[in-house]
Amino acid sequence: MNKSQFIEAISLRIGEKHSTTLSYVNAALSIISETVKNGDVVVLDDFGKFYLKKISKKTVKKANSDEQVIVPEHTKVSFTPYRNIMIFSDKYRS
């Protein structure tokens, strides 16, 4: 599902126009992005949490060569789904 399909699905579910729903979703995504960028955690009940994760410095081998490259310490945005979302994954089905 891409963003346009996502917006359409929400529009149908809540009975709002596509343009109104697009504004709501863009605002929500912007708030999540800004909050995480500032180093805070965004927790959405029954869904999951978005946060910055510190990645340690490491040495990796370049593809197709024996050259070693140092990747400096950095941060990345991570998402941890809550259990009720993960039950839909084949990995967690019994």
What are the residue boundaries of the structural domains of the chain, listed by start? 1-38, 41-94
In the chain, count H helices and then E strands: 3, 5
- What top-level class would CATH report for the domain 41-94? few secondary structures
Joined together, the tokens standing for residue 56 give 């340690």
Q: One digit per residue, pLDDT tens: the chain, 94 residues?
A: 999 999 999 999 999 999 999 999 999 999 999 999 999 999 998 899 999 999 999 999 988 888 999 999 999 999 999 887 766 666 555 5
- The pLDDT score that the predictor gives to residue 59 is 93
DSSP string, 67-91: -EEEEPPEEEEEEEE-HHHHTTSGG
pTM of the model: 0.73
